[in-house]
Amino acid sequence: MKRRDFIKSVAIGLGGLLIPADKSDASLWETFFQKYFREMTPEEKKNIAKRLEKEYKEKTGVSINIKTNEALPGVKYGYGLDLSRCIGCRRCVYACVTENNLSRKPQVQYITVLEFKNGEKWVSDLEESKKYYKHDEVPAPGHFYMPVQCQQCDNPPCVKVCPTKATWKEPDGIVVVDYNWCIGCRYCMAACPYGARKFNWAEPTVPPEQFNPNTHYLGNRPKFNGHVEKCTFCIQRTRENPGRYPACVEICPVGARKFGNLLDPESEISQCIEKKRVFRLKEELNTNPSFYYFFSL
Amino acid sequence: MTAAFIIDLIRHITRGNKLYYAWLSVLGLVIAAGAAAYFGQADKGLIVTNMRDQVSWGFYISNFTFLVGVAAAAVMLVIPSYIYHFKPIKEIVLFGEMIAVMAVTMCIMLVVADMGKPMYAWHIMMHPNFPSSLLVWDVIVLNGYLVINLSAVSYVLYRAAHGKEYKMSIMWPIVLLSIPWAFSIHTVTAFLYNGLSSRPFWNASIVAPRFIASALCSGPALMILVFQIARKVSEVEISNEAIQKIAELIAYAMGLNLFLYAAEIFKEFYSRSIHLAPMEYLFFGLSKDGTLHNVLVPFTWIALICNVTAFVIFLMPGLRHKFTTMNVACVMVLIGVYIEKGMGLIIPGFIPDTLGEIYDYLPSATELIVTAGIWAVGALIYTLMIKTAIPIYKGELSLVPKEQRRKIPAH
């Protein structure tokens, strides 16, 4: 018996005991034995996507599209955030929730906007940050704001620690998660210095009529209980050709968010890096983020 | 022959006095409650725990960490027994190895309880992120340690059931392997936290040495207590000399543990860098936005007081040699290390979180009940192992045909 077959037969036994029986038998086995995404042929990827689309349709009556397209050649995404402009309105937070089909209850949000008092320590010590600020109007006088989300590190600690290789860095620089391959150990959450990884502590809920039907397997497809997810620079938008901006960039009312191809010297992000004095968050940790903060004023 | 042995074994396990039945019933009830709570958690998700994105590991991983220490401590008996042939300990080393088996089994259960999708744990075997992920290392060393100790126990008992002493030629490789392996389970588990630069509280080189030092306190302390109970309620013979030797070892280990702890406290409080925050949270609480967050403070002080008092007791021969004071000290070591190497190590790693938020964590009812259930499973495993081992040693349970057995003098 091959090692793989043996493991499979053991898993069948355990799976029978542990998987909730609210799915049809065939779909249940297919879900349980679904291969690791990076091992699938393009054909297999398509079939899995079709199955997941069908499952969502059966569950909610809503048709969605799950793409599995690969990274575009010659592209490495970079992100810029202009701290002089950000007013802390959190429109990006909610645009992200809607675009990426994040659970409304319990709430999952990829972007955290931190508020700091002018003059207080902040860059290397975030202990003075305020996450749950509440004002009638922003920006609050005497305060400034720093949104934080996945920094798409070139040296990602989360990828290093994952025991199953369920999270990895794509050729275009996006760190992604195969939700079906993740076992929910949350080691990556302990390893991430930016609080960017979010766990589904319960079955996520998104009203089907609000579900964004344009999805990617590695991004905003339907998610479930017990796995980790994270910002993917809106992989379902940015990998289109021509690509679209991530939802947070598009919504920002003050143009604080910049996005583009780091490999193209003429792109907006490359120009920002070239012309502004940029810094990256927690540079002392050598994570080497693709996410640049700068001041335009 | 084997069939007869199994029937005999069942007879021995199911027979006992009222106290034994009461003990089994209590364990059974706690296990049932734990199982029910776990199925609730499996159904609703880890939302029924008090863990959240800010503090993403909690009571399960705290207990896991403490028990890795207990498991590693069997080596404290193995070294004097097999290598230095210290006779009084040689006789009880088997019971120490059984504690290791029990503790590792509980460790594995606790990790499974903590996982979001435990039924997919086999993914680790399909695509292990080795050698990069310390979690893969931990899976390997813990399961290896379980196999090593199970083989040692089974082999010794198998020989005993044939009325023979174990052969050192077979035991020797197992022993030689088990000693570094015991240190490895602790070192690897320490590195699991230690390697994360995102968490300054863990990212200190002293973590692994402190892990070992405190493990060499808690494991033996648990053994001393269990051995005394075992010899009271059963006919197993464990000499006072052996127990005293273990107590002496705890004194050294606790001295080292407190020294390393002091080194850590000095460095953090004297330099007062931004990385002081977790330590301050442990000892005094942290203020943020007008709220004082101090849920762990009483536990930290209880642990410190217990460890220091126990150290003084173990250090003074007069107090150490008296069983009452020694037992009090053992209980204190267990409380002290349980807090220090459990919640006191895991939770402050997440406080403040990487974006500066302070989320006060204490376990939920589900976490407490599931963990209690796992402890009860451990206690049950140990009880059954002792119930099997003692009659084998006494010759009452044997693989040798009845007519060939040596006569055992009646009590």
Q: What is the 3-state secondary structure (H, E, C) of A212-248?
A: CCEEECCCCCCCCCCCEECCCCCHHHHCCCCCCCCHH
pLDDT (tens digit per residue) in B339-360: 999 999 999 999 999 999 999 9
Q: Do B43 and A131 touch (CB under 8 A)?
A: no
Q: Minimal CA–CA distance to B121: which of A190, A52, A167, A166?
A: A166
Cis peptide before B131 (omega within 30 of 0): yes
Q: Does residue B410 surpass a pLDDT of 50? A: no
All residues of chain B having their beta carbon less than 8 Å from the beta carbon of residue A184 are 46, 115-118, 120
* Maximum mean pLDDT: which of B173-187, B208-222, B297-311, B378-392: B297-311
pLDDT (tens digit per residue) in A248-257: 999 999 999 9
- Domain membership of residue B339 (yes or no) is yes
The interface residues of chain A toward chain B in range 82-111, judged by CB-CB distance below 8 A, are: 106
Query: Distance (Å, rounded) from C-alpha B55 to C-alpha B357?
Result: 10
Domain containing residue B28: CATH number: 1.20.1630.10
What average pLDDT is seen over chain B? Answer: 92
- Domain membership of residue B271 (yes or no) is yes
All residues of chain A having their beta carbon less than 8 Å from the beta carbon of residue B118 are 18, 183-184
Asked if residues B95 and B103 have their Cβ atoms less than 8 Å apart, the reply is: no
* Angstroms from B204 CA to nearest CA on chain A: 14
pLDDT of B408? 47
The minimal CB distance from A125 to the residues B54, B117, B274 is found for B274
The minimal CB distance from A190 to the residues B46, B57, B126 is found for B57
**What angle do helix axes B323-340 and B207-233 make, rounded to 10 degrees?**
140
- Domain membership of residue B400 (yes or no) is no
Q: Does residue A238 surpass a pLDDT of 60? A: yes
Q: Do A201 and B46 touch (CB under 8 A)?
A: yes
Residues in chain B, overall count: 411
Confidence of residue B175 (pLDDT cuts 50, 70, 90): confident
Helix (H, G, I), strand (E, B) or coil at A198: strand
Q: Domain count for chain B, please give it.
A: 1
pLDDT of B75? 77
pLDDT of B237? 78
* Angstroms from A43 CA to nearest CA on chain B: 21
Question: Closest chain A residue to B54 measured between Cα atoms?
Answer: A195
Give the domain range for residue B45.
16-395
Q: Do B355 and A18 touch (CB under 8 A)?
A: no
pLDDT of B405? 66
* Angstroms from A9 CA to nearest CA on chain B: 11
All residues of chain A having their beta carbon less than 8 Å from the beta carbon of residue B273 are none
Q: Do B139 and A163 touch (CB under 8 A)?
A: yes
pLDDT of B238? 81
The percent of residues in chain A predicted with pLDDT above 90, rounded, is: 86
Q: Does residue B180 surpass a pLDDT of 50? A: yes
- Domain membership of residue B407 (yes or no) is no
Q: Do B124 and A183 touch (CB under 8 A)?
A: yes
The minimal CB distance from A148 to the residues B192, B288, B355 is found for B355
* Angstroms from A91 CA to nearest CA on chain B: 20
- Domain membership of residue B6 (yes or no) is no
pLDDT (tens digit per residue) in A93-127: 999 999 999 999 999 999 999 999 999 888 878 98
pLDDT (tens digit per residue) in B66-92: 999 999 877 777 777 777 777 777 767
pLDDT of B192? 97
The percent of residues in chain B predicted with pLDDT above 90, rounded, is: 72
* Angstroms from A293 CA to nearest CA on chain B: 16
| Secondary structure element (H or E) that encloses residue A160, with its range | helix A157-161
All residues of chain A having their beta carbon less than 8 Å from the beta carbon of residue B274 are 124-125, 127
Neighbours of B95 (CB within 10 A): 23
pLDDT of B1? 65
pLDDT of A212? 98
What average pLDDT score do residues B360-382 get?
A: 97
pLDDT of A10? 57
Q: Do A202 and B123 touch (CB under 8 A)?
A: no
Best residue of A199, A229, A281 to probe chain B, by most B CBs closer than 10 Å: A199
Radius of gyration of chain A (CA): 20
What average pLDDT score do residues B104-127 get?
A: 97
pLDDT of B260? 97
User: Does the interface predicted TM-score (ipTM) exceed 0.90?
Assistant: yes
The minimal CB distance from A202 to the residues B44, B54, B111 is found for B44
| Residue with the larger pLDDT of the pair A2 and A90 | A90
* Angstroms from B217 CA to nearest CA on chain A: 28
Position A250, amino acid: E
Q: Do A129 and B44 touch (CB under 8 A)?
A: no
Question: Closest chain A residue to B352 measured between Cα atoms?
Answer: A127
* Angstroms from A158 CA to nearest CA on chain B: 10
Q: Does residue B172 surpass a pLDDT of 90? A: no
Q: How far is CA A258 from CA A116, A253, B26, in A?
A: 22, 12, 63
All residues of chain A having their beta carbon less than 8 Å from the beta carbon of residue B196 are 157, 161, 190-191
What average pLDDT score do residues B292-307 get?
A: 97
DSSP state of B120: G
**HSE toward the beta carbon, residue B226, CA cutoff 13 A:** 26
Best residue of A34, A111, A189, A283 to probe chain B, by most B CBs closer than 10 Å: A189
All residues of chain A having their beta carbon less than 8 Å from the beta carbon of residue B129 are 161-165
Q: Does residue A1 surpass a pLDDT of 60? A: no
pLDDT of A24? 62
pLDDT of B344? 96
Query: Distance (Å, rounded) from C-alpha B229 to C-alpha B347?
Result: 33
Question: Structure pTM?
Answer: 0.93
Asked if residues B296 and B361 have their Cβ atoms less than 8 Å apart, the reply is: no
pLDDT of B62? 98
pLDDT of A263? 98
